Amino acid sequence: MTAHIIDGKIISAALRAKVADEVARVVRDHGITPGLAVVLVGSDPASEVYVRSKHKQTQEAGMASFEHRLPADVPQDDLLALIAKLNADPAVHGILVQLPLPKGLDSSAVIDAIDPAKDVDGLNPVNAGRLASGLFALTPCTPLGCIIMAKQVHASLEGMNAIVIGRSNLVGKPLVQLLLNENATVTIAHSRSRDLPALCRQADLVFAAVGKPEMVKGDWIKPGATVIDVGINRTPSPDGGKDKLVGDVAFAEAKEIAGAITPVPGGVGLMTVACLLVNTLRAASAIHGLPKPG
């Protein structure tokens, strides 16, 4: 039987609508408009697309959106000065610096400079440490989206065997922490793991965040497992047309074995921006001492 397709379009739209309702309530009851500042350095075409989509969706959710564009050759100190200004600005509750930064800029220093209370990308080591310690933290958006998608299929992840393939600070590591918070049993795999197919076949939940087109094959999947594909890989189209987007999972094969699977495109990618809105609302609520949004 073919797998259930976990539809990022529907789930992200519902999440954005929920955030918009909450934002309207915060504006009405407390006179606070959550605000997100996005900083784009240089003019990388993929980053431009992401920033435009973040701006549009932030406004549609009823939040304030502030865009700051800097040239690729901006001195590091000028970028840090902008971050300091945004840290001090009471209209800004979330700060996101679009990564990757152009060569010559030190992204660790930039991430460190963001006030952890406004770090809606959840990359500041304070938030990473708080997440690992089980404390309130702003959590990277993509892993948050992955958990929401898995929970569309399983109301509880407790006791499930999960494998996370990839251990980046942006996706793999925070995803592992979130899965532990859900009481899943987690294996974290990476480029030095031995016999990845065998590890994968033991998992009820497979999260692929590798950056290798269609690496996870159909016969790596335990029958009935839930597969969440984080990968976004551009591959040349066989007919010489526009590049094709594929995930880290061989979708056509895997969907014949899995119980549920996310497509690429139309899967996790759409959840990432929706979760950025969630984080901005969470940050605004925490900064103003309001209860954690539902």
Q: Give the footprint of ligand NDP on this chain (CB under 6 A).
A: 142, 165-168, 170-172, 189-193, 196, 209-212, 230-233, 268-269, 272
Residue 165 assigned as binding residue = no
Distance of CA 111 to the CA centre of its chain: 16
CB of 55 to ligand NDP, least distance (A): 17
Active site residue 54: yes
CB of 210 to ligand NDP, least distance (A): 4
Q: For residue 217, give Cα distances in angstroms to 12, 180, 212, 248.
A: 27, 26, 12, 9
CB of 208 to ligand NDP, least distance (A): 8
CA–CA dist 282, 290 (Å, integer): 9
Residue 107 assigned as binding residue = no
Q: What is the DSSP letter of 98?
A: -
CB of 135 to ligand NDP, least distance (A): 23
Residue 168 assigned as binding residue = yes
CA–CA dist 66, 171 (Å, integer): 25
What tokens were used for 185? 């049993």
Q: Which is nearer to ligand NDP, 38 or 209 (CB)?
A: 209
Active site residue 98: yes
Residue 35 assigned as binding residue = no
Q: For residue 272, give Cα distances in angstroms to 79, 139, 291.
A: 25, 11, 23
Active site residue 217: no
Q: Which is nearer to ligand NDP, 225 or 268 (CB)?
A: 268
Going by C-beta distance under 8 Å and a sequence separation of 6 or more, which residues neighbour residue 15? 148, 271, 274, 275, 277, 278
Catalytic residue among 118, 119, 121, 255: 121
- For residue 169, the tally of other CB atoms under 10 A from its CB is 14
Q: Which is nearer to ligand NDP, 65 or 142 (CB)?
A: 142
Residues classed as catalytic: 54, 98, 121
